[in-house]
Amino acid sequence: MSKMKELIFLVEESLEGGYEARALEVSIHTEAESLKELKEAIKDAVKCHFDEKEMPRIIRLYFVKEEVITI
């Protein structure tokens, strides 16, 4: 596997409360009660998933918010 420059996570509010994050391009998923805890959980999950030589330099978070509008 070649070294990734950056890794993108989609972040959503969980139905049960807190937040969920899932990476694009690799199979990493994590969750936490607060955004601060989620950022730490993401860093820990990335460190577990990649060897030091393959570790991405940047982790980018995209926040997704779903809203339903009724007519």
68 lies in a domain? Answer: no
Specify the pLDDT at position 68: 87
Specify the pLDDT at position 67: 85
70 lies in a domain? Answer: no
Print the domain residue range for 26. Answer: 6-63
Q: For the whole model, what pTM was predicted?
A: 0.85
Other C-beta atoms lying within 10 Å of the C-beta of residue 28: 17
Domains: count for the chain: 1
Contact 6, 18 (CB under 8 A): no
Specify the pLDDT at position 2: 57
**How many Cα atoms are found within 13 Å in the side-chain-facing hemisphere of 45?**
20
Written as tens digits, the pLDDT of the chain (71 aa) is: 556 799 999 999 998 999 999 999 999 999 999 999 999 999 999 999 999 899 999 999 999 998 889 99
35 lies in a domain? Answer: yes
Specify the pLDDT at position 10: 98
